[in-house]
Amino acid sequence: MKTKVIIILFIILLGISILKEPLVDTIDVFSGATNDTYSSLVDTTTGASHSHESDDDDSEVDD
Residues of this chain that interact with another protein (CB under 8 A) are: 1-3, 5-6, 9-10, 13-14, 16-18, 20-21, 26, 29-34, 37-42, 45-46
**Contact assessment for residue 41 and residue 56, using Cβ atoms and an 8 Å cutoff:** no
Closer by beta carbon to another protein, 22 or else 53:
22
Nearest distance, CB of residue 1 and another protein, angstroms? 6
- Give the nearer residue to another protein in terms of CB position, either 36 or 53: 36
**By C-beta, is 2 or 52 nearer to another protein?**
2
Q: Are 50 and 36 in contact (CB under 8 A)?
A: no
d(CA 47, CA 55): 9
- For residue 6, how many C-alpha atoms fall within 13 Å in the half-sphere facing its CB? 3
